[in-house]
Amino acid sequence: MQRGALKFAGKHIVVSLCYLDDLLLIRARPIIAADDLSSRELEVAQRYAAGEDYKTIAQNLSISPSTVKVHLNKIFTKLAINEKASLVAKLRQMTH
């Protein structure tokens, strides 16, 4: 069997599968607003929540700082939040 992580998203639940040595770990959680983020938006959100500024995120992702700002505006709108602390909390829901 292949050794990688798999993620399945249904209408109400997200299930993640990954291997740890010979064990198969299965995690399930309800769908949350952050699941609607595109992969690029999620990457920008995670970097911003980790403390990177617009310029650093832009350099690391090879995009302009204004593009980072556009992504963050979309992210904050999709998640119905208006501060960085709320973004951190929403992203934390995805991993717990």
For residue range 62-77, what is the model confidence (pLDDT) as tens digits?
999 999 999 999 999 9
Beta-carbon-side half-sphere exposure of residue 40 (alpha carbons within 13 Å): 12
User: Domains in the chain and their CATH numbers?
Assistant: 1-31 (no CATH), 33-95 (1.10.10.10)
Record the pTM: 0.72
Burial 36-69 (b: 16+ CB within 10 A, else e): ebeeebbebbbbbbeebebeebbeebeeeeebbe
Token couple for 24: 């198969």
Residue 2 has pLDDT above 70, yes or no: no
Tens digit of each residue's pLDDT (9 = 90 or more) over 11-62: 888 888 888 888 888 988 888 777 788 989 999 999 999 999 999 999 999 9
